[in-house]
């Protein structure tokens, strides 16, 4: 379930994450959310256990291959799936055979893998029968000393002062 139980207070801030340029025009990002990294599967990208990831949550027109993405392996019930930050790679393109009338008679689905940047972790091939959801792309990684989680209950009394002090 998507719900807010705390807010991320950035204590040491060097570069913006709320905006970006599209076609030379500065626009504000919509749908920023945060999560905490567990494990060392992305250590090759200098992402460590305990770091906080900021990602952009929205519907995407196309997949950005090779960019760290937040992927959800959908569970039986909404919100019960597994999450991973990996790079999406197509190992084999979709292929098909047509008969003399131009009808497709045989095809192979593409082989899509999720890859870690830690060489000790093997690529994870997406199963065609499972459901996966691209939830967003990684925008920024913050170290534990750069952030603080503020409980929602603590924010309500001093809103918005507690978030921006």
* CATH number of the structural domain spanning residue 63: 2.10.109.10
The values of phi and psi at residue 27, to 5°, are -130, 155
- Domain presence at residue 11: no
Is the residue at 109 inside a domain?
yes
* CB 45 within 8 Å of CB 86: no
Measured in whole angstroms, how far is the alpha carbon of residue 40 from the centre of its chain?
16
Q: What is the pTM of this model?
A: 0.69
* CA distance linking residue 110 with residue 8, whole number of Å: 38
8 Å CB contact between 136 and 69: yes
Model pLDDT, residue 89: 87
* Residue with more model confidence, 159 or 144: 144
CA–CA separation, 95 vs 62, rounded Å?
19
- Asked if residue 7 is part of any domain, the answer here is no
Question: Residue 159 and residue 139: Cα distance in Å, rounded?
Answer: 26
Query: At CA 136, angle to CA 20 and CA 77, rounded to 5?
Result: 155
Total structural domains within the chain:
1
The answer to whether residue 96 sits within a structural domain is yes
CA distance 113 to 95: 17
Answer whether residue 114 is part of any domain.
yes
pLDDT band at 80 (very low <50, low <70, confident <90, very high): low
Does some domain include residue 22?
A: no
Which pLDDT score is estimated for 162? 46
Q: Which helix (H) or strand (E) holds 153?
A: helix 152-157
Tokens at residue 158, please?
């001093």
Q: Is the pLDDT of residue 134 over 70?
A: yes
* pLDDT mean over 7-23: 67
Residue 8 lies in a domain: no
Per-residue model confidence as pLDDT tens digits over 24-40: 777 777 778 888 898 99
Q: Where in the sequence is the domain holding 94, given as residue range(s)?
A: 27-164
The conformational region for residue 127 under phi > 0 = left, psi -120 to 50 = alpha, else beta, is beta
Q: Confirm whether 1 is domain-assigned.
A: no
Predicted confidence at residue 50, as pLDDT, reads 92
Is 112's pLDDT higher than 90? no
């Amino acid at each position: 379930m998507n719900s807010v139980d705390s807010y991320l207070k950035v204590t040491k801030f060097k570069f913006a994450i709320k905006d970006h340029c599209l076609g030379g025009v500065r626009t504000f990002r919509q749908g920023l959310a945060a999560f905490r990294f567990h494990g060392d599967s992305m250590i090759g990208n200098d992402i460590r256990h305990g770091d906080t990831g900021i990602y952009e949550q929205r519907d995407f027109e196309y997949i950005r291959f090779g960019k760290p993405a937040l992927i959800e392996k959908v569970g039986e019930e909404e919100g019960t799936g597994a999450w991973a930050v990996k790079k999406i790679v197509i190992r084999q393109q979709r292929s098909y055979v047509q008969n003399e009338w131009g009808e497709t008679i045989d095809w192979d689905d593409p082989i899509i893998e999720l890859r870690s940047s830690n060489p000790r972790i093997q690529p994870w091939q997406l199963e065609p029968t499972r459901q996966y959801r691209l939830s967003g792309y990684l925008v920024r990684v913050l170290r534990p000393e750069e952030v603080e989680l503020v409980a929602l209950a603590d924010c309500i009394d001093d809103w918005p002062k507690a978030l921006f002090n």
